[in-house]
Amino acid sequence: MEAITEAEITLVLERFYEKVRRDPEIGPVFDVVTDWDEHIVRLSEFWSSLMLTSGRYKGNPMSMHMMHSDKIRPGMFNQWLTLWMQTTSELLTQSIAALMQAKASRIASRLSLTVCGSLPPGPVTHISLPRSKPYMVTQDFDESSIPAALLREHSLKPGSWGVVRITEGSVALVAAGREILTSQSFGLILPEIPHHLETLGPVKFRIEFYDHAPTTDQH
């Protein structure tokens, strides 16, 4: 089975936090870090324990985040996940990137609920339209023809991403939170994340499926 290496984990974290520190929304939260070399070492130990079951990490990430809860808002986790998805997709194979993205999504939900008292407001946002081509596109659904399965909680298989594309009206995508989608936005569904749709009246939409994380434009 394909596995990530310790060196790849460190590289991902270095590149990811370069983006985080430049980000105007979440960058200021990390101003509390005084020794970035040591911080990357601790994070590498954390992800090594998650991905390789190495047992290297001995800390308590929840308590560390609680110390700075006054600076953290639920919506910040969406941007954190967006940058994480970009970085892992750039540096890793599709299967490993998908696994790290799924784990990060679950971490973000737990942290947001514990630190902020609520889940992030919706799936990953602030991401540009995909440039890559989907491997499958559904027919156009409306409020009458939407399959019942889409209204029940379900998950995409590992390594599969979904994009909900609205052409008329609006629909709610419920995953870690609840996001209202319109023709001016779209919903990104990560692998293995429980989700469902809710109709809000007249709507026309389709779903695109990708076998890798959709590539994005630069911000």
DSSP string for 67-84 = TTGGG--TTHHHHHHHHH
Please check whether residues 110 and 166 belong to one and the same domain.
Answer: no
Examine the domain organization and report whether 181 and 112 are in the same domain. no
Instruction: Let me know whether 12 and 111 are in one domain.
Output: yes
Q: What is the pLDDT, as a whole number, of residue 49?
A: 86
Cβ neighbours, 10 Å, residue 70:
6
Q: How many domains does the chain have?
A: 2
Q: What angle do CA 174, 179, 183 make, to 5 degrees?
A: 120
Q: What is the pLDDT of residue 57?
A: 80
Same domain, 177 and 75: no
98 backbone dihedrals φ, ψ, rounded to 5°? -60, -40
Q: Rounded to 5 degrees, what are φ and ψ at 205? A: -155, 170
Whether residue 172 sits in one domain with residue 100: no
Same domain assignment for residues 111 and 203: no
Does a structural domain hold residue 153?
A: yes
Look at residue 183 and tell me if it is in a domain.
yes
Same domain, 29 and 111: yes
Q: Are 179 and 123 in contact (CB under 8 A)?
A: yes
Calculate the CA 35 to chain-centre distance. Answer: 27
Give the per-residue pLDDT at 17. Answer: 95
Range of the domain at 186: 136-210
pLDDT along the chain (219 residues), means of 10: 84 96 92 92 91 79 65 84 90 84 81 74 49 86 96 87 91 82 82 88 94 51
